[in-house]
Structure 1
């Protein structure tokens, strides 16, 4: 009797899980044409490569919310953060690489400019093509999230614990934090990854905070206390599917793979850079260290661990 009851419960849980999987898949918003082929596109390579983008879209935010979150009223839409995640085929850990938004790159058909200008000029499709062109890495999946979705996801999991390395006071980002471990709300987390305060190289520190936060929020979202509790799992699923946009070929199974990779404590770094370059479209931009950057991206293309000296440089 007990065995039969347990078997019945397991069947119900399995059916519920399958139902939830297809429900999530049906809610994902796909963007057509993001990963279309073009002449000279880098070929597919072992492993899976994701381009993860945080945009500064204010879509879904009221005037009061924009004021509370200190997002400003900028028109249009730009990329606030960009990361390239490589998930290897073998047992090596995934690699998460920050691509500084102010990187000096050649945008196809547009010339030299900052990397985030590619999105402003041609949306996700031109951004993907630019990243593939300058890195030589074939992008398999694309995911984007705006300000409003960012806040909703963090609040849906009950906040995220972050070890703040130095006290932060940045009115422009609506942020004031003490040093040390603490649980950040959605609005605090948004300010934390956006602030340019702290460190000798503010943008470098900013990319480190973004990678730190992304790992923390995925770890929290994947924890049993969240996933096995319907009062948190369902709001999280609704917030996540409302918040993100993906390429039209990305579904729930791909998102599960992404979550598992991020929960596997990926190796994190930033593209090695040194010095500045003046670009016609936006003044001073960050110049990559060409030799080290090529070594980094070649390792990803060959599905090999990134050399330690390259990681140390980032």
Structure 2
């Protein structure tokens, strides 16, 4: 049964979130726009030698992210570059991605908490970020219908990539992950971020006032984690995640011209915090930087996949995507017109002041 208007979610409670106590799940959430942030950093950070030695060489690689995916059934490339970006809940109390990863811990062993498609357009000046709600009820190859975030738990990166490609018809070129420690360190490395909040809320012991808030890494994590007390629950949380990413992009741009030391700290944080698939070499990173050297935060469109409503499948609370409007969105991703789609569908676009 579907609700026409997504209600605030009170079920599927995550321990520790409402009480402000740090839960393992809360500590391990991952959220970042690796593609756009990293490419923007590379584009403004300096010489090719600096980029290769300081950034590319410090980024951990994820082996066999595309293992077993039938090449003949994959969508065709549209000329741009698309990253599938995830954040996950981990079993480990230590980082599971980046150069600080704990040996033997499989990031795909838990469900992904954040799923985003980050796309760089062929013109090198535009990009897009599409959030796919983690509870979206979709077909998972070989597993039947389930929440989309279950794909990562069932089969790691390959199954999640295959699931997203089947859902969207968009070819995934690269895969990236970042963890809780990575997100907070990225924010702290640039001196925090500034976000505008629609109304006063609080989460995990952090109070957010209506209007502009300056957040350090820990406060930013509480901001992107909140869904209880927001009008549309997970949908509003996705908007907050995009808002934080946009703010981080703006800060990186600012530091690029005013504070080289902070930019270097950010570069180091990227290497320590993130992991990308092993098909993206250091040379490939530099090439992306050169191809997208004119990309700026203002050229990135932020959208959430259209939702028809919320409902239940057995004991699970799920999100039903609007298949008709979603088809228009995936077409826009493929042809580089996400900004135009956002103009025509403002309720799905990231506004200036998310809830």
Q: TM-score when scaled to structure 2? A: 0.72
Checking the alignment, whether the CA contact within 8 Å between 1:198 and 1:205 is kept in structure 2 is no
Q: Which residue of 1 aligns with 2:212?
A: 181
Q: Which residue of 1 aligns with 2:52?
A: 22
Which of 1 and 2 has greater Rg? 1
Measured against aligned partners, the alpha-carbon deviations of 1:43-75 in whole angstroms (never above 9, x if no partner) come to 2123221212222345536xxxxxxxxxxxxx9
The alpha carbon displacement at 1:198 in A equals 3.8
1:146 aligns with 2:176: no
Checking the alignment, whether the CA contact within 8 Å between 1:94 and 1:267 is kept in structure 2 is yes
d(CA) in 2 for partners of 1:25, 1:180: 37
The alpha carbon displacement at 1:303 in A equals 3.2
1:288 aligns with 2:321: yes
The alpha carbon displacement at 1:230 in A equals 4.4
d(CA) in 2 for partners of 1:299, 1:26: 34
Q: Which residue of 2 aligns with 1:209?
A: 240
Checking the alignment, whether the CA contact within 8 Å between 1:50 and 1:84 is kept in structure 2 is yes
Q: Which residue of 2 aligns with 1:116?
A: 149
Aligned residue runs from structure 1 range 96-135, under 5 A: 96-135=129-168
- Structure 2: which 5+ runs fail to align? 1-45, 96-107, 349-355
Checking the alignment, whether the CA contact within 8 Å between 2:188 and 2:216 is kept in structure 1 is yes
d(CA) in 2 for partners of 1:214, 1:255: 19
The alpha carbon displacement at 1:157 in A equals 0.8
- Cα 1:178–1:272 change in 2 (3 A) is same
d(CA) in 2 for partners of 1:201, 1:165: 13
- Structure 1: which 5+ runs fail to align? 1-15, 62-74
The alpha carbon displacement at 1:98 in A equals 0.9
- Cα 1:243–1:221 change in 2 (3 A) is same
Checking the alignment, whether the CA contact within 8 Å between 1:222 and 1:259 is kept in structure 2 is no
Aligned residue runs from structure 1 range 150-229, under 5 A: 150-170=183-203, 173-223=204-254, 225-226=255-256, 229=259
**Greater mean deviation of Cα atoms: 186-195 or 258-267:** 258-267
1:239 aligns with 2:269: yes
Q: TM-score when scaled to structure 1? A: 0.81
Q: Which residue of 1 aligns with 2:169?
A: 136
d(CA) in 2 for partners of 1:35, 1:262: 29
SS in 2 for 1:307: helix
- Cα 1:309–1:17 change in 2 (3 A) is closer
Q: Which residue of 1 aligns with 2:99?
A: none
Aligned residues: 282
SS in 2 for 1:34: coil
Checking the alignment, whether the CA contact within 8 Å between 2:125 and 2:292 is kept in structure 1 is no
Checking the alignment, whether the CA contact within 8 Å between 2:52 and 2:286 is kept in structure 1 is no
d(CA) in 2 for partners of 1:254, 1:262: 17
The alpha carbon displacement at 1:290 in A equals 0.7
Checking the alignment, whether the CA contact within 8 Å between 2:48 and 2:286 is kept in structure 1 is no
Aligned residue runs from structure 1 range 32-71, under 5 A: 32-36=63-67, 37-38=69-70, 39-57=72-90, 59-60=93-94
1:275 aligns with 2:305: no
The alpha carbon displacement at 1:177 in A equals 1.7
SS in 2 for 1:60: coil
The alpha carbon displacement at 1:162 in A equals 1.0
CA RMSD for the aligned pairs? 2.6
- Cα 1:212–1:111 change in 2 (3 A) is same
